[in-house]
Structure 1
Amino acid sequence: MIALKNISKVFTPGKHTITAVDNVNLTVEQGQIYGIIGYSGAGKSTLIRLLNGLEKPSAGSVTINGQVISQAKGESLRQARLKISMVFQHFNLLWSRTVSENIAFSMQIAGAPKAKIKTRVAELIELVGLTGRENAYPSQLSGGQKQRVGIARALANRPDVLLCDEATSALDPQTTDQILDLLLDINRRFQLTIVLITHEMHVVRKICDRVAVMESGRVVEEGDVLTVFTHPQQPITRQFVRQVSQYAEDDAFNPLLASELGGTVMKLTFTGHSTHQPVVGELTLRYGLPFNILHGKMTQTAHGVFGELWLHVAATEEQLHNILADLGRSGIEGEVVQHG
């Protein structure tokens, strides 16, 4: 659906050279919600402008639905952009137009018949939950309502791809969740491919299928959301995961606090159905050992739950070996953090 091959973008303001995107390779499948996350200056906003042809790459190619967007020009590029819509952080609504008129605007630009525009606008107002607000102006709307108008406008020409550039960053947490639920519903109902640019891991956790982590113009980590959350490889990814888990580094479990107990401290990592298993009870019955729960947390993603559990137990080397083997057979990753 979307393929970025060896994409780089270099800016040369004055005598300086700035590499905003550095040799990025990504593939987004049809119907996926794909998150691109990074802090300010990571290159993610430049990347999204490469996707819709607002920027041309210095090297590499951008292909969407078989068309090489990075080489398209003139009318060819204009037609391609009709199928690649954008939702913006600050809404970008026309303040002198009503809700209906804002939604209709992109169809008018595309030359759609008036009757078709009227029907489509009515459909979209109902879809995004703005029934009764058709004649309101942006100044009369809440932030969440403005973003709903932005989403409806972006969907007007039935795009193949929806690009969301920090689409929830200007919203409060409750409204953010409502907008994310709307995007997820649209994705599932129409199999619309969505690419989300964000600096909030909560957004990725809630609705994305896959995620790419950007730092200094490069993709430093990429994979399905559940894997990235449970096994983050890069320091920046671990920082984002702590952010969404609402655990600051200082608040996370410190195994040194259990050192005075002696014995062994184990960290168990659960994913999917394994989160529902009565693990501690089964281990206690099987080995006749008292397992003390020291710390635990669970996080929901769009594709399942993952969790961590820290246990303390006084066990022999042989027992520990068998316990870890039993956990592995149950689909639970076990790690000995402290052994004494």
Structure 2
Amino acid sequence: MIELSNVSKVFHQGAARITAVGNVNLRIDQGQIYGIIGYSGAGKSTLIRLLNGLEQPTSGSVTINGQNITAARGETLRQARLKISMVFQHFNLLWSRTVSENIAFSMQIAGVPKARIRARVAELIDLVGLNGREHAYPSRLSGGQKQRVGIARALANNPDVLLCDEATSALDPQTTDQILELLLDINRRFGLTIVLITHEMHVVRKICHRVAVMENGHIVEEGDVLALFSHPQQPITRQFVGQLNDPLAPETLNPALISDLPGSVIRLTFTGQNTHQPVVGTLTLKYGLPFNILHGKMTQTAQGVFGQLWLHVNATTTQLEQILADLHHSNIGCEVTRHG
């Protein structure tokens, strides 16, 4: 559906050469909700502008639905962009137009007949939950309502791809969840491919199927959301996953709080059906050792549940090795975070 091959974008500021995107290779399948996460300056916004042809790569190619966007020019590029819509962080609504007029605007530019525009606007207003607000101006709307208008406008010409550039970062947490649920519903109903640019791991966790982590213009880690959450490889990925950690997780506690407990601390990581296994009871029965639960948490992602559990046990070296082997055999990730 979307394929980036060796894509780089270099900007020149005087004698300085700034690589905003460096040699990115990426594939996004039809119907996926794909997250691209990174902090400010990582290159996310430049990357999304390369996807819709607003920026031309310095090298490499961008292909969408088999069409090379990089090589498209003039009318060919304009027609391609009609199938690649955008939702913006700060809404970008026309303040002198009503909700209906904002949604109709892109169809008017595309030359859609008036009768079809009226029908499509009514359909979209119902889809995004703005019934009764058709004639309101943006100044009379809440942030969430403005973003619903932005989403409806982006869907007006029946795009194949919806690009969301920090579409929820200007919203409060409750409204963010509502907008994410709307995007998830749109994806499920129409099989629309959605690419989300964000710096918030909550957004990725909530609705994305796959995610790429960007740092300094490069993709440093990529994969299924559940796998990335349960086994982050890069320091920046672990930092993002840590955004969702309970501040009272054992790794953030003062070591003095458990320093008087002899023994080891083990962190267990569960995914999918493994979260239902009676791990602590099984280990206790097998080894005859008391396992103290220090902390536990469960996190729901679009692909399923993953959980983490911190256990304290006073075991011999041999017993500890056997315990870890049993956990691995049960497909439960484990790491000794403190040796006794």
Same structural fold, with TM-score higher than 0.5 when normalized by the shorter chain: yes
**Structure 2: distance between partners of 1:305 and 1:243:** 17
1:52 corresponds in structure 2 to 52
How far is 1:285 from its partner? Answer: 2.0
CA distance change for structure 1 residues 9 and 122 in 2, over 3 Å: closer, same or farther?
Answer: same
Equivalent position amino acid for 1:275 in 2: T
How far is 1:154 from its partner? Answer: 0.2
Give the SS at the match of 2:136: coil
1:144 corresponds in structure 2 to 144
1:153 corresponds in structure 2 to 153
Residues 255, 337 of structure 1: 8 Å contact kept: no
How far is 1:40 from its partner? Answer: 0.8
**Structure 2: distance between partners of 1:277 and 1:256:** 31
Residues 249, 295 of structure 2: 8 Å contact kept: no
How far is 1:233 from its partner? Answer: 1.3
Matched, 1:69 2:69: yes
How far is 1:287 from its partner? Answer: 2.1
**Structure 2: distance between partners of 1:318 and 1:56:** 59
Unpaired runs of at least 5, structure 1: none
2:82 corresponds in structure 1 to 82
Residues 3, 62 of structure 1: 8 Å contact kept: yes
**Structure 2: distance between partners of 1:191 and 1:238:** 31
How far is 1:248 from its partner? Answer: 8.3
**Structure 1: distance between partners of 2:281 and 2:170:** 45
1:2-17 equivalences under 5 Å are 2-17=2-17
**Structure 2: distance between partners of 1:221 and 1:44:** 14
1:97 corresponds in structure 2 to 97
2:281 corresponds in structure 1 to 281
Task: Provide the aligned C-alpha RMSD in A.
Answer: 1.6
Residues 207, 302 of structure 1: 8 Å contact kept: yes
Give the SS at the match of 1:134: coil
Under a length normalisation based on structure 2, what TM-score does the superposition of the two structures give? 0.96
CA distance change for structure 1 residues 36 and 326 in 2, over 3 Å: closer, same or farther?
Answer: same
**Structure 2: distance between partners of 1:39 and 1:50:** 18
How far is 1:255 from its partner? Answer: 6.1
2:308 corresponds in structure 1 to 308
**Structure 2: distance between partners of 1:290 and 1:59:** 60
**Structure 2: distance between partners of 1:225 and 1:3:** 19
Give the stretch that moved more between structures: 329-338 or 295-304.
Answer: 329-338
1:271 corresponds in structure 2 to 271
How far is 1:41 from its partner? Answer: 0.8
CA distance change for structure 1 residues 206 and 249 in 2, over 3 Å: closer, same or farther?
Answer: same
Residues 250, 295 of structure 2: 8 Å contact kept: no
Give the SS at the match of 2:133: coil
Unpaired runs of at least 5, structure 2: none
Give the SS at the match of 2:90: coil
Residues 10, 20 of structure 2: 8 Å contact kept: yes
Give the SS at the match of 1:117: helix
How far is 1:321 from its partner? Answer: 3.0
Residues 39, 199 of structure 1: 8 Å contact kept: yes
**Structure 1: distance between partners of 2:251 and 2:103:** 46
Residues 255, 338 of structure 1: 8 Å contact kept: no
Q: How many residues were matched structurally?
A: 340
1:326 corresponds in structure 2 to 326
CA distance change for structure 1 residues 254 and 267 in 2, over 3 Å: closer, same or farther?
Answer: farther
Residues 253, 295 of structure 1: 8 Å contact kept: no
1:178-327 equivalences under 5 Å are 178-247=178-247, 252-253=252-253, 257-327=257-327
Equivalent position amino acid for 2:179 in 1: I
CA distance change for structure 1 residues 12 and 157 in 2, over 3 Å: closer, same or farther?
Answer: same
**Structure 2: distance between partners of 1:310 and 1:259:** 15
**Structure 2: distance between partners of 1:75 and 1:273:** 51
CA distance change for structure 1 residues 302 and 255 in 2, over 3 Å: closer, same or farther?
Answer: farther
Residues 20, 42 of structure 2: 8 Å contact kept: yes
**Structure 2: distance between partners of 1:138 and 1:252:** 44
CA distance change for structure 1 residues 233 and 324 in 2, over 3 Å: closer, same or farther?
Answer: same
Give the SS at the match of 2:16: coil
Equivalent position amino acid for 2:35 in 1: G
Equivalent position amino acid for 1:217 in 2: G
How far is 1:257 from its partner? Answer: 4.5
Same amino acid, percent of matched pairs: 78
1:160-171 equivalences under 5 Å are 160-171=160-171
Give the stretch that moved more between structures: 319-328 or 162-171.
Answer: 319-328
2:36 corresponds in structure 1 to 36
1:22 corresponds in structure 2 to 22
CA distance change for structure 1 residues 256 and 7 in 2, over 3 Å: closer, same or farther?
Answer: farther
Residues 258, 265 of structure 1: 8 Å contact kept: no
2:124 corresponds in structure 1 to 124
